[in-house]
Structure 1
Amino acid sequence: MAARKRILFVINPISGGRRKNAFKKQVLAALDLEKFDPTFQQTTHANHARELALDAIQEKYDAVIAVGGDGTINEIGSALVGSNVPLGIVPEGSGNGLALYLGIPMNEAAAIRRINKFETVDVDCGEINKHKFFNIAGLGFDASVSESFANDTIRGPLGYLKSIINVLSKYKPKVYKLVIDGQEYERQAFMISVANSPQYGNNAYIAPHASINDGILDVCIVHKFPLYILPMMVFHLFNRSTDQSDYVEIIPGKHIQIQTDDSNIVHIDGEPLELSNELEITIQSKSLQVIC
């Protein structure tokens, strides 16, 4: 009889605003324990998920499962890139953009049962000033929203909506200089999203035709628009038709440089980070295995 695969569940206890006290019991009920030997760890601080994933590589685990949102997935995925240890996902975040794109069930038990098949796909990894991302990185309005959301006590979609309203009332577009695969652009933009997958989460699609394993990033430039257009912009997001908006420009590329007049708040898979005024973005093709 083959040895059971050792898999580590890394649990973010605060992601998505949902308690996870019964998660271990759920795993023991849904996971095929004849095939898998599960271990459980909870994160306690920023970057803890990444530290646990790095330890799991050294300890010869067969997979690391992110129990959280896109931020938790990012920490673990960043550690696993280039290794032969796959990433699994049990979606427990506010948006769950990557999991939705990959077709991973939002139901906890169903997502755990999906792991039993242990089927993997190779996905691309973006890098922005050496910080890895797997879903979307961005600057401008959406980065400001991520910063506001990170500092709020209300989690989940309601907290995200509150952050959007707060930032929208005072946000002003900026001028960006871009070089995409050698071609120069200058744009006054409301925001710029660099998409490896099509959606932020909650089925809000900023780059409807992006693919997570085509070796290309979609640079989505949302131009300055009058406020009365906002309902239509929201419609495009949830109708998978942002590419049809007169205020959205999508340019594919592999090597992207973005320059502004001052430092940038950037979101990396939804987590805010302050970076310099010069951003260099590249892609590593099919560098991470994901169980899906």
Structure 2
Amino acid sequence: MKKNIIFLINPISGGKSKLNFAAMAAKFLDGSIFDAKYVFTDGPGHAREMAIELVKGNADILVAVGGDGTINEVASGIQGSGKVMGIIPHGSGNGLARSLGISLNDRFAVETLNKLNVNQIDTGIFNGKNFFNMAGIGFDAHISAIFANNVTRGLSGYVKTAINEISNYQCQHYTLEIDGKRIARDAFMISIANSSQFGNNAHISPFASLKDGLLDVVITKPFPLYQFPVLGFQMFSRSTHRSKYVEIIKGKDIRIIREGLGAIHLDGEPYEMASELQININPLSLSVLV
């Protein structure tokens, strides 16, 4: 019996047109395995709404065609349903797809679906909301809030925004409780890493694993401005763990108290949340084709 596979396509992710995506995918998707449908999202939150409804029906596999934000929405709708997710990366950074080894080439990514190789990965919960790749507090959340409205997508747009904002950004004081151990830190940012990277192969926590049942709490401490390009180089060379400005603590049950409400990001999508933040891991809770 053929599997019902539905592609949920974000038409604007990554700044590339998806109008010809269905015709391309149909060439390389194995028609002896799948009955395929293609639907477009029409705004923030729509992919999640559609995924919730589709898993109630006869859909076997839902494929997110977009970036980490689109993947977050589709995965949030699938999680706990017993259904399987596929990924065709079409975002600015494609952090989760890169971490899973999914090709950024459309043809190869579609052909990956034909193999029906299902893996289970961990997922994170942040004040009741899901994240699958990376969450953050501090500078990266501040940049995500600005970048969300930036017409210049991709790595160059992100770097340009970061350079423009860094000189005026003020570090904050945080109290963290990680698996019962309480610490206090001043921090430039705190990243909660399920995978190792933000995207574009910028690895904030080089040894983070999607399958170890743990989240990596990455505390980037205050640093001199001249060290900013050094930290950038260390991310791209997978060596942030060697920096004296970076502290990495693994944990399952994480509580963070900051000075007041402010920005956070979940898989690059910005939100505003209160001063007290609760983060947990849900081990091997999402099935993904890789």
Please state if 1:86 is matched with 2:91.
no
Give the C-alpha shift of residue 162 in structure 1.
2.3
Equivalent residue, structure 1, for 2:127: 129
The code of the aligned residue for 2:58 comes to K
SS of residue matched to 2:17: coil
Quote the Cα distance in structure 1 between the aligned partners of 2:203 and 2:103: 18
Partner of 1:195: 193
Q: SS of the counterpart of 1:200?
A: coil
In 2, the alpha carbon distance for the partners of 1:144 and 1:73 equals 21
**Contact 1:148/1:167 (CA < 8 Å) preserved in 2?**
no
Distance, in Å, in 1 between the alignment partners of 2:96 and 2:16 is: 19
- What's the counterpart of residue 63 of structure 1? 61
Q: Which runs of 5+ in 1 are unaligned?
A: none
Residue matched to 1:37: 35
Cα displacement string for residues 196-246 of structure 1 (whole angstroms, at most 9, x for unaligned residues): 000000000001111001110000000000011112111110010101000
Whether the 8 Å contact between 1:97 and 1:201 is mirrored in structure 2 is yes
Q: Secondary structure at the match of 1:185?
A: strand
Q: Contact conserved, 1:91 with 1:106, CA < 8 A, in 2?
A: yes
Residue 108 of structure 1 corresponds to 106
CA deviations on 1:239-266 (whole Å, 9 max, x unpaired) are: 1010100000000000000001210200
Q: Percent identity?
A: 48
Give 1:20's match in structure 2, choosing from 18, 21, 26: 18
Report if aligned partners of 2:167, 2:225 keep a CA contact under 8 Å in 1. no
Q: Secondary structure of 1:201's partner?
A: coil
1:110-159 Cα deviation digits (max 9, x unpaired)? 10011001111001110010010010100101001111110112222232
Q: Which residue identity lines up with residue 66 of structure 1 in the other structure?
A: A
Q: Which runs of 4+ in 1 moved over 6 A?
A: none
Of 218, 243, 246, 2:244 maps to 246
Task: State the match for 1:261 in structure 2.
Answer: 259
C-alpha distance in 2, partners of 1:203/1:286? 23
Provide the rounded CA distance (Å) in 2 between the counterparts of 1:39 and 1:166.
Answer: 43
Whole-Å separation in 2 of the counterparts to 1:18 and 1:177? 41
Contact 2:69 2:267 in 1 (8 A): yes
Aligned equivalent of 1:95: 93
Work out the CA distance in 2 between the residues paired with 1:41 and 1:169.
43
Q: Per-residue deviation at 1:46?
A: 1.1
Question: Which residue identity lines up with residue 245 of structure 1 in the other structure?
Answer: S
AA matched with 1:163: T
Structure-2 residue corresponding to 1:119: 117
Residue 205 (structure 2) aligns with: 207
Equivalences for 1:274-289 in 2 at 5 Å? 274-289=272-287
Give the secondary structure class of the aligned counterpart of 1:126: strand
Write the mapping of 1:40-51 to structure 2, written as runs, cut at 5 A: 40-51=38-49
Deviation of 1:20 (Å): 1.0
In the alignment, the residues of structure 2 paired with residue 287 and residue 30 of structure 1 have an alpha-carbon distance, to the nearest angstrom, of: 29
Q: Tell whether 2:16 aligns with 1:4.
A: no
1:109 Cα deviation from its structure 2 partner: 0.8
Q: Structure 2-normalised TM-score?
A: 0.98
TM-score (norm 1): 0.98
Residue identity matched to 2:7: F
The number of residue pairs the alignment matches comes to 290
Are the counterparts in 2 of residues 127 and 283 from structure 1 also a CA contact under 8 Å? Answer: yes
- The answer on whether the counterparts of 1:262 and 1:276 sit within 8 Å (CA) in structure 2 is yes
Which residue of 273, 287, 290 corresponds with 2:288?
A: 290
How many Å apart are 1:83 and its aligned residue? 1.7
